[in-house]
Each structure stands twice: as structure tokens, then as C-alpha cells.
Structure 1
Amino acid sequence: MTYVVTVDICIPEGTPEMDPLQRAGAVALVEDGLDAVRAVEGPDGVQVDVLDTIVAVHPGGALLKVVVDAPALEFAEGSVQVLVDELLERTEVLADWTIERCEVELHQDLARESLAAADGPDAPPDDLALRRARHTAGASSAQNAGEGADGPDGAATKARAARARMLELAAELRAFPPAVFGVEADDDRRAVPAESARLAAGALVHATDTLVDELFEDVQVLAQEDATVAECEGPLWHLERLPDRYALQYDARFARRFLVTVIALTTRFTDGSFQHLSCVAEELALRFLLNEATTTLELHDLLDDHVSTALANLADALCVDTDHDRVHHPAALLPFTSWFTPFTEDSYAHPSTTDEPEAAPQ
């Protein structure tokens, strides 16, 4: 059975954050170490095959996605824990790094089967993004009329819990002060209450995890089928929403680069280092993130006019130094071969996205 294991590894506490050169070195060391392993001996001597890995390094450490074939969830998690522990231990400059999280996520085929098994009036919607948001929110597909705790009182309780969670997550979006969302704006049409700004910020943080997981699953589908988006027969979460004119260019390699771009962008959002959108791929990533946040807010009945305005204010603020039309209108995009090219010399570019793809027809 195929499992996706997410691993967060962090630099030692009290150590200065890594600069771009250190991050480039770290990603090379981690990628080389993982690429050298094809199988791991897990608990009880069970062999677990390593199918694929993706590494995204940020100033405070790295996020790893490791795909393994294991007989059970426990073996997958335990084997990847052993693998990463050994990688850190045998790599001198990473020896003091620590594993903060190592958790298993079901492969999308299994998640889809589980969701599809529900029927009746409360069956999951056909749209995959809505399904994922609903599944993440913990909504029960077993609702029946007059049964369970999901009546009006239960729904209100869930809504309050979702609101509280979004407000709590808002503090993690360190790159944007309330004013960016429109708090205390001079223009009444753009002004929003502080709580609405916090709901928008929290939704973006919540949407980040969902978007990264879904894009990773898109990578897996394309890699397993050895196909482009135009040729892919399996369902995709997001990549089908990219401009159709380049659909034959969206292969697994492109999808990996785009996923790393999303991780790098949202990491700068949360660690406070974001300055401006760096390339076309980041503009597209922002559009996906805003869509995901909107879906999440709608699901929890938290998307009112003020919150919508807060998200729009943020989008406008991020587009000041770039072309607003490119974010919202894909037809205005630069040529495909330029999507990962930094706009300026001071634009951030993750080391894993800087290799130029083979020349593609325009």
C-alpha cells in the first residue's frame, strides 16, 4: 500500500536562520541522501520501498514528502523516521537538526475511495476541492434526517470551532500586518474589521496545508501515469486549472517545481521574510491559495463581505510590484519557459526550481 509521509526537520534551537547559500547546500545534502535510498528496513525487519521524495528547504529547516510502499501505516511512518534519523546522523552539518513531525497521509486513491463510499443526501460533492475541504473539516458523511448531533446546534458549534481555529491560525501569517487586509483603511470600500482580517489570514494558513497536500497528490498521479496534465486519466486537484494552452508541458517534473514554489512562497508568508512575488509560478500559486482559502471559508460559512474584501485587499497589495492581470487572468501570462524565472535580481528563487526545463514549443 502506498503512503505519503510528511516530515518536518528543523535547525537547532537558537541557531541563526539559514541564508540562501546555506539553504541551497542543505537541499542538495538532503536530496542526495534520500535519492541514494531505494528501500528501508522498518520495524520487525519489514522492507519498505521508497518510491519518491520531494524536499523544500526554508530558513528554519526543511519539509520532506516521502512516498513509500509499506504493508501498514505504522511501518511506513517508522521506516521514514529511521531513514531521516540516519540521514541526519551521517551528514555532519545536519547532525544537530531535529525531526519535529513525521506523519503518514493516505494516498489519494484510498482517500477518494473512502469519500466515494458515502451516499445519500449528504454524500461528498463531485468537486474534488470541495470534497477535500469537507473531509479536512471533519464533516460527517453519515448524516441522516433527525439523527446525530449535526442538527442546528451541532452546526453552530462546528462553525464556532472553525472560527476560533481560523483566528488562532492568523498569528502564523507573520508577513502581513492587519493594515494589508484593510484594517483602518481610509477608503470605506476597502475598510474591514480587525476580526475579518484575522479570519482571512487564518484561512490562508489553513489553506496552505491543504494546497500543499493536494499538489503533492497531483505530482504522484502524473508520476505514476508518466503523463502530462493533457494526457492524464486520473483526477487532479489543481493542475488541470492551469492555462490549457500549456497542458502538454505540465508533467511530473513541472509539477514538482510548482509544488516547491508553493512551499517556498507560503514559507515566506509565515516566517515573515516575504517581500514580493518573484515569478509567474508564484503568481499562479497565489491564485490557487486564494481560491483554497475562499473554499475553506465558504465551507464553514465564514465568508461574508468583509472577509471577501480582506482577501481582495491582500491580493491587490501583493500585485503592486507585478502585473495584477497575470494573477487573475491566465491568458495574460508570460511564455511558459519564463514561469520560474525571477522577475528581478533580488527576487527569491528556490534552488529546486532554478534548473531550466527543456525548450518547449510556444
Structure 2
Amino acid sequence: MDYAVTAELEPPVAVSELDALQQEGIAAVLDRHLAMVEGVADDIDVLDYRIEVHPRGASVVLAVDAPSLSSAEQAAAAVLDELIGESDVLTGWAVAHSEVRITEDDFNRRLAEADDELEAAVEEALDGAAEEVEETALDAEHWRERLGSLAARLRAFGPEAFGRGGQPGEGERLAAGALVHAVRVVTDEIFYDELALAVNNATVADAVGLLVLEELPPCYDHRYDSLFARSFLLATAAVAVRLTEPAWTPPRTVAESLGLRLVVNEARVMLEAAELMDWETSEAAFGAFADRAFADLDHEELYEVALPLADDGELETVEQVGKLEAELRSRGLAFDQWFTPRDGSAREQGTHPYLWSL
């Protein structure tokens, strides 16, 4: 049976980050060695491979024909360990982990099944078109009740955060409930996007059909890979949990600010889709919330950043990109600063251990 084994290779501890030239060199070394690999054992073969080198190391996907999942993982780790041992360039590198993910065919099959289910649901909805008006009214009423019940879970703020003063009305309570509901939606969407990026060994710049990560600042869409998606999920979860606590702690990192921004956008979309609040009204309501929630993190600036491009659409020189990166770094907005607390505390303080190595 064919398995897609994803392995992460880490450079020596002394190497904090690979520059562009080092990344190219590591990719060439890995490609040269992996191209010579054929059989691992009598019943295990390496069919194909893909390589992606990034500043923190390298991701290698091996297509392995093996009798079992565990043997595929062991074979992949053995191939990479041998490769590292034979190359002087890779001295000190190590295989961080090796695990089987679903194959691309499996992923496409699941998408096809989901499409079939969606098509059946659409046909069923069309069969009941004569009752559309009544059903819409019932649906809106359902969401009004549902969001109203969720509003109380937004303990860090309460409905008054969505108004400009005075006693909160139904609109403020619906906005509060929609924010709580949006947390679950965005969380599910990040899980989906991470799977899509991992299976295809892609970044947001290469992928199509993603649900939510495409809404992040486009200037770094070539950096949003599956590892980033997992890290971003944890940052979003951290700020979401604080929404349910008695006292509010504003986003401590750029990633947390962007995660909260996605939740706010989803809440507004949901309210409009359920015909409970139009876009203009929700803009005012969530603008009032943003004034209280986001503190002084200027994450919105990232959406105005444009990477310098040449006439052929390729990135301009390293010097120009480096200059832009330096400007972002001076404001704490460079990509490698997204998971670093902006309040001056130690990076590990109050941060999930998974993010410490970023």
C-alpha cells in the first residue's frame, strides 16, 4: 500500500535560521541524494519525494510503498537518517519526526465525497423551494435564539462592548453570540486548511480552495504552510479562550491579533447570512468591540504591505525584500515576530510550548 510520509528535518542548534542561499543549497543536497534512493527493503520502495526548505529547516514528503503504516514511517526515517549521515553538508541535522498523513488520492476522494453530499443537499433544498420564505424566517429565528443564548459566554466583555454607550439591546447581544459562534467556525476552517496544505506540501500562495488562511495578509502568503497553520491555530485558540474569561487580556502577539480579526470577520458574515444584521450595522458594532479588544497592535498595517515585484511578476532583489522586511521588523510586524509576545514578557511565558521553537 502507498503511504505519504511527512518528515521534518532540523538544522543544528547553532543555526538559528537558514538564509535564502543556504535554503537553495540544502534543497539541492536533499534532491541529489533522494533521487538515488530506490528500494529500502525487499517489500518497501520509495516511489517519489517532494522537498520544501524553509528558514527553520526542511520538510520532506516521501511516497512509500510499504506493507504497513509503521513500516512506512520507519523506512522514511531510515532513509533520511542515512542521507544525513552520508552528507557533510548535513552534519548536525536531525529528523525531528516522521509521520504518515493521508495520501493525495485519499484527500481528493474525501473532497469528492463531500461534493456529492453537498450536491444532494442542494437538490433537497431546491425540492422545497416553494417553502423558501417560511423556512428562511424559521432559520433566522433559530439563529436569533441560538446566538442570544451564546452571548452570555462572552464573559470578558458582554453585549455592552458592541455599543456606543447606553443599555445593550438585541443587536448587541446577537453580535456577542455571533463572536462566540465564530470561534468554532474559524477553528474548523483552520483545521481544514492545515490538512489541505500538508497533503499537498503547499503554501497559501500555491493552494486553491482554502477556507480562511487566504484572509491573512497576502504579503506573506508564500510563508503560510502547514507548520504555520498549526502554530496559527494555537495562537487563535489562546486568544479565543480569553474571550470566555472574566477579565480581558488583549492579543499578546501579531498572530493572536490576526486570529481574533478572522473571528470578528466570520461573526459579521454569519449575522448577515442569517439576515440578523446588515454589513453596515455590524461594522459599527464590531468597530466598537475592536476599540476595546485589540489594544495597540497595528496588525491592520500588514494588509497594506505589498512585496516589490519585477515586471515579470517575480519577487525583486533580495536587497529590496530585505529592506521591506527591516521596516516591518522595526514595527514588530515581520513574519518571524508574529508569535513573539509584544508586551515585553519572555517568549515562553504564557505561550504554548509548540511555539517556542518558531
> 1: distance between equivalents of 2:230 and 2:185?
16
Q: Taking structure 1 as reference, are residues 201 and 115 closer, same or farther at Cα in structure 2, changes over 3 Å only?
A: farther
Q: Deviations over 1:283-312 (max 9, x none)?
A: 111221111111111110112354442212
> 1: distance between equivalents of 2:250 and 2:165?
23
Q: How does 1:241-260 map to 2 (within 5 A)?
A: 241-260=215-234
1:319 maps onto 2:320 in alignment:
no
Aligned to 2:149: 168
List gaps (5 residues or longer) in structure 1: 1-46, 50-66, 70-106, 124-138, 186-191, 358-362
Q: What's the offset of the Cα at 1:325? A: 3.6
Aligned to 1:340: 339
Q: How does 1:257-276 map to 2 (within 5 A)?
A: 257-276=231-250
The residue type paired with residue 352 of structure 2 is P
The residue type paired with residue 344 of structure 1 is D
Q: What's the offset of the Cα at 1:273? A: 4.5
Aligned to 2:125: 143
Q: Taking structure 1 as reference, are residues 48 and 353 closer, same or farther at Cα in structure 2, changes over 3 Å only?
A: closer
> 2: distance between equivalents of 1:327 and 1:179?
29
Q: What's the offset of the Cα at 1:278? A: 0.7
> 2: distance between equivalents of 1:109 and 1:297?
33
Q: Is the 8 A contact 2:164 2:288 kept in 1?
A: no
Q: Is the 8 A contact 1:286 1:327 kept in 2?
A: no
Alignment equivalent of 1:303, drawn from 277, 295, 307? 277
> 1: distance between equivalents of 2:255 and 2:151?
25
Q: Taking structure 1 as reference, are residues 354 and 151 closer, same or farther at Cα in structure 2, changes over 3 Å only?
A: closer
Please state whether the residue corresponding to 2:267 is helix, strand or coil: helix
> 2: distance between equivalents of 1:313 and 1:113?
42
The residue type paired with residue 114 of structure 2 is S
If asked which structure has higher relative contact order (CA below 8 Å, sep 6+), I would say 1
Q: Is the 8 A contact 1:228 1:249 kept in 2?
A: yes
Q: Deviations over 1:28-74 (max 9, x none)?
A: xxxxxxxxxxxxxxxxxxx999xxxxxxxxxxxxxxxxx997xxxxx
Q: Is the 8 A contact 1:211 1:289 kept in 2?
A: yes
Aligned to 2:22: none
Q: What's the offset of the Cα at 1:319? A: 2.9
Q: What's the offset of the Cα at 1:199? A: 0.5
Q: Taking structure 1 as reference, are residues 259 and 182 closer, same or farther at Cα in structure 2, changes over 3 Å only?
A: same
> 2: distance between equivalents of 1:180 and 1:303?
16
Q: Is the 8 A contact 2:218 2:303 kept in 1?
A: no
Q: How does 1:177-256 map to 2 (within 5 A)?
A: 177-182=158-163, 184-185=165-166, 193-232=168-207, 234-256=208-230
> 2: distance between equivalents of 1:182 and 1:260?
30
Q: Is the 8 A contact 1:218 1:236 kept in 2?
A: yes
> 1: distance between equivalents of 2:177 and 2:304?
25
> 2: distance between equivalents of 1:268 and 1:218?
24
Of structures 1 and 2, the larger Rg is shown by 2
List gaps (5 residues or longer) in structure 2: 1-67, 71-99, 307-327
> 2: distance between equivalents of 1:210 and 1:268?
17
Q: What's the offset of the Cα at 1:346? A: 5.2
Q: Taking structure 1 as reference, are residues 318 and 112 closer, same or farther at Cα in structure 2, changes over 3 Å only?
A: farther
Q: Deviations over 1:90-140 (max 9, x none)?
A: xxxxxxxxxxxxxxxxx8963664346655xxx9xxxxxxxxxxxxxxx86
Alignment equivalent of 1:152, drawn from 133, 145, 159? 133
TM-score (norm 2): 0.56
> 2: distance between equivalents of 1:210 and 1:229?
19
Q: How does 1:276-295 map to 2 (within 5 A)?
A: 276-295=250-269
Count of paired positions:
233
> 2: distance between equivalents of 1:253 and 1:225?
13
The residue type paired with residue 351 of structure 1 is H
Q: Is the 8 A contact 1:159 1:300 kept in 2?
A: yes
> 2: distance between equivalents of 1:271 and 1:48?
42
Q: What's the offset of the Cα at 1:237? A: 1.1
Q: Is the 8 A contact 2:152 2:158 kept in 1?
A: no
Aligned to 1:93: none
Please state whether the residue corresponding to 1:235 is helix, strand or coil: coil
Q: How does 1:55-204 map to 2 (within 5 A)?
A: 110=110, 113-115=113-115, 118=118, 142-144=124-126, 147=128, 150-182=131-163, 184-185=165-166, 193-204=168-179
The CA RMSD over aligned residues, in Å, is: 3.5
> 2: distance between equivalents of 1:257 and 1:160?
37
Q: What's the offset of the Cα at 1:251? A: 1.5
